[in-house]
């Protein structure tokens, strides 16, 4: 398969949360780059097309849009710069 990403992804296994419209669902971030991530969720049918991805470790928030779904894994692109990071990081 042709690699279409501009940035290589970093393999991680970190808990996070899908947040949208007041509902929150736990997920696991499997890999991440400056432009997107792959997450595993229990049921992708409950994940809206756009949502906030909140990292459990440091509460960083990424605005996301779903690009693809394969079984329980969802590929997302970040639609805005992460929030919650200190200036200069």
Instruction: Please name each of the domains of the chain with its CATH number.
Output: 10-78 (2.40.10.220)
**In sequence order, which residues have a C-beta less than 8 Å from that of residue 67 and are 6 or more positions away?**
36, 75, 76, 77
Confidence of residue 8 (pLDDT cuts 50, 70, 90): confident
User: With contact defined as beta carbons under 8 Å apart, do 16 and 54 qualify?
Assistant: yes
Per-residue pLDDT tens digits for 26-71: 999 999 999 999 999 999 999 999 999 999 999 999 999 999 999 9
Q: What are phi and psi of 45, to 5 degrees?
A: -65, -25
The SS3 assignment for 3 reads coil
> Computed over its alpha carbons, how large is the radius of gyration of the chain?
12
Rounded Cα gap, residues 25 and 9, in angstroms: 23
Provide the pLDDT for residue 1. Answer: 46
């Amino acid at each position: 398969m042709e690699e279409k990403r501009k940035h290589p992804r970093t393999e991680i296994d970190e808990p996070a949360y899908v947040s949208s419209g007041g509902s929150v669902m736990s997920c696991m971030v499997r890999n991440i780059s400056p432009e997107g991530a792959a997450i595993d969720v229990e049921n992708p049918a409950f994940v809206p097309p756009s949502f906030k991805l909140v990292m459990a470790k440091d509460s960083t928030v990424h605005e996301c849009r779903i690009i693809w779904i394969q079984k329980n894994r969802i590929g997302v692109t970040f639609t805005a710069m992460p929030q919650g990071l200190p200036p200069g990081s």
